[in-house]
Structure 1
Amino acid sequence: MVTIYDIAKKTGFSVTTVSKVLNNYSDVSEKTKKAIKAAVEEMDYLPNSHARTLTTKKSWTIGVVFIESLGIGVKHPFFNAVIESFRQEVEIEGYDLLFVSRNISNQKKSYLDHFRYRGVDGVVIVCSTYDDEQVKELIEDPIPTVVIDMSSDQSSVVYSDNYEGSRLAVDHLQSLGHTRIAHIAGHESTFAGEQRKKGFYQAMKALNLEVPDEYVVNGDYFSIEGGARAMKSLLELEKRPTAVYAAGDSLAMGAINAINEQGLRVPEDLSVVGYDDIELAQYIHPALTTIRQQTDLIGQESAKLLLKQIDCKESYVACTQVPVELIIRKSTGPVA
């Protein structure tokens, strides 16, 4: 078995220096860290987790709370991509992830109770709604936290620039000659849904475009079914829109299904823009024009914020807003 002494011998650094690198101390140069980490990788060194915990007073575990309203958990394409990016970032520093269960020894426990029981060093909360009381309890606790896809004045947060995304979507449709633009909104209890809807109104006002009340429809919790229902109500209007901006790609896919069922075509009869750029968006027919969220960057920035708090041994409030990008595909075209 490879030991810390073997790493020191191979690299020429002292055992103390190697130990500092393995335990993420800051008073070691990047060049030295790189050399030692390369040797660790080459020699397949695996530190003793119990010894490391005693030395650093850390569990080297980060808790994960994952809440989304569709009930599909980590299968959710956007959140899954974000968590994978987060995992890769913290894994480099030696942390493992612990996905929460509210059962401990067959007893119902809160998220906070669970994480205290496991002694995690910090918690990442992936959540889009303000309604969960146990999430609020976590955020209010001194344990270091970072929240993804939700705003909070009590925790560090990371989310996309939803207002800018809405502006990009509306501006793109207007550039194609569309003036009758509808919006399929996410549920009002969700942070992203509300921000994107407000951004839609702002963008339409900036272009002096009218928004009839019936042109803004609730798509529920970003589901394909919710998008289809919303689109059907828009198609029933006497003066139907020529373009639709949906607050999520699943909503947009549902909208396209509803349009097709009515014997209409996308984009010849109606243009559709989504939001997220999930992997499936480029493979549906027609390929979906959408607003891309940078899931890799969201995960990386979330990890950096949380690790900084863990290293400082205190929770603090910070906000990182990640830029978005318009991806033009085949679901949008000139107004007929």
Structure 2
Amino acid sequence: MASDPQRVTLAKVAETAGVSVATVSKVINGRRDVAQQTRDKVLELLRRYNYGGYRDDLRSHPTVELFFGFERLSIYHTEIIQSVVDAGAREGIAVVVGRRGEHDPAADPAAWARDLAAAGRRAVIAVTANILSPAIREALNRYRMPLVLLDPEILPDNSIVSCGVTNFSGGHSATAHLLSLGHRRIAYLGGTERAGSNQARLHGFRSAMEAADAPVPPELVRHAGTFHAAEGIEHGQQLLAESPTPTAVFAASDELAAGVIEAARRRGLRVPEDLSVVGFDNTLLAQVTSPPLTTIHGPVREMGAVALRTALQLAAGEEIDSHHVELATRLVVRESTCPPRD
């Protein structure tokens, strides 16, 4: 029988079994809403055709790959892992985490996709700073493995399915909060400058400042290069060395904000009495900083669930409502902000 995954199609398996393509996809993905007799018939054909490297011992244990295109993961990334793993547990789907330091799909996209298929992956959810290359997407398509980008730093076109948050709105809300307290000399500390999420948060910041007729001096807009705390300390010290010192900082992640708080401490400044700080993401870190951090809540738990559900729908050949979903952010006020001193 044919063994090349390009030669055997879902339609061929479905036609031979006398069922729909969607039903075959559900069997492949371990969905439970298929009659046992139908399931057995489809499984036998999948084994006979050796469809996509299909292995019998993996049919009852469908897995999804959660791939990070970073060698260094942040606190925010660990919360993404938790959200997708929890969603998988509710769906009866195992989630396997991979990262660029362990696997580099760009080095050999075909081998990477083939290994994922042979290991029983049914879909890939990717968290990456870059849109995966056409060669990688083509390799995943060859093995009928749908791709969903989760909180992409660069918003893809409609050929790629993605799920993110309302970054512009979040940036606007964070800045509007500081303005409402009376701050006018407000700094912005971003992460990766070219990241779409960073740019959207910066645009939200500028929009709120412009609406309040508050100036944005160039020296008060910085990009740390990453969203990590160490860079928050370094660039926070540089911002606080400006004269006059900003009375507030909106940082594009909770880790950057925690770094700014540490930078203020090293300069003998108190938060929030001398400097108000707002973060972004509402990770667990925001609750344990001293003081607890005012931040923008990004619905990570919901985002992970949407990404997994969308990946499974695609793997089952089902229609999805949108190629890009944005979940709403909201302001969470804690103790790191207050009105500026006279």
TM-score by length of 1: 0.76
> What letter matches 1:253 in structure 2?
A
1:255 aligns with 2:253: no
In the alignment, the residues of structure 2 paired with residue 148 and residue 252 of structure 1 have an alpha-carbon distance, to the nearest angstrom, of 23
Q: State which of 270, 294, 299 in structure 2 corresponds to 1:289.
A: 294
Distance 1:323 1:317, change over 3 A: closer
Residues in 2 aligned to 1:318 and 1:296: alpha-carbon distance in whole angstroms: 19
Aligned to 1:327: 332
Cα distance in 2 for residues equivalent to 1:53 and 1:123: 21
Over aligned residues, Cα RMSD in angstroms?
A: 3.2
Rounded Cα–Cα distance in structure 2 between residues aligned with 1:332 and 1:178: 10
Return the alpha-carbon distance in structure 2 between the equivalents of residues 122 and 96 of structure 1: 11
Unpaired runs of 5+ residues, structure 1, are 1-18, 29-46
Aligned to 1:124: 125
Within-5 A mapping of 1:145-160: 145-150=147-152, 151-153=155-157, 154-160=159-165
Quick check: 235-244 or 294-303, which moved more? 235-244
1:161 aligns with 2:163: no
Q: Kindly state the Cα deviation for residue 298 of structure 1 after the two structures are TM-superposed.
A: 0.6
- CA shift in 2, pair 1:292/1:102, >3 Å: closer
Shift of 1:280: 1.9
Q: Which moved more, 1:50-59 or 1:257-266?
A: 50-59
Q: CA deviation at 1:294?
A: 1.1
Amino acid at match of 2:65: G
1:206-244 deviations in Å (ceiling 9; x for gaps): 222211111101122012121112122222222221111
| Segment drifting more, 272-281 vs 53-62 | 53-62
> 1:62 is matched with which residue?
64
Matched, 1:177 2:175: no
Corresponding letter in the other structure for 1:176 = L
Amino acid at match of 1:113: A
User: Residues 193 and 199 of structure 2 are in contact (CA less than 8 Å); yes or no, is this contact kept in structure 1?
Assistant: yes
Contact 2:68 2:99 (C-alpha < 8 Å) held by counterparts: no
- The answer for the alignment partner of 1:35 in structure 2 is none
Q: 1:206–1:64: structure 2 CA closer, same or farther, 3 Å change rule?
A: same
Find the aligned partners of 1:303 and 1:72 in 2 and give their Cα distance. Answer: 23
Residue 284 of structure 1 aligns with an amino acid whose one-letter code is T
C-alpha spacing 1:138/1:92, structure 2 compared with 1 (3 Å)? farther
* Partners of 1:264 and 1:100 in 2: CA distance: 41
Could you tell me which residue of structure 2 aligns to residue 87 of structure 1?
85
Amino acid aligned to 2:75: P
Distance 1:112 1:241, change over 3 A: farther
Counterpart for residue 72 of structure 1: 72
- Tell me, in whole angstroms, the C-alpha distance in 1 between the residues paired with 2:114 and 2:297: 36
Instruction: Tell me the TM-score normalised to structure 2 length.
Output: 0.75
Preserved contact between residue 106 and residue 136 of structure 2 (Cα < 8 Å): no
Q: After TM superposition, give the deviation of residue 193 of structure 1 in Å.
A: 1.7
Q: Secondary structure at the match of 2:335?
A: coil
3-state SS of paired residue (2:290): coil
Aligned to 2:241: 236
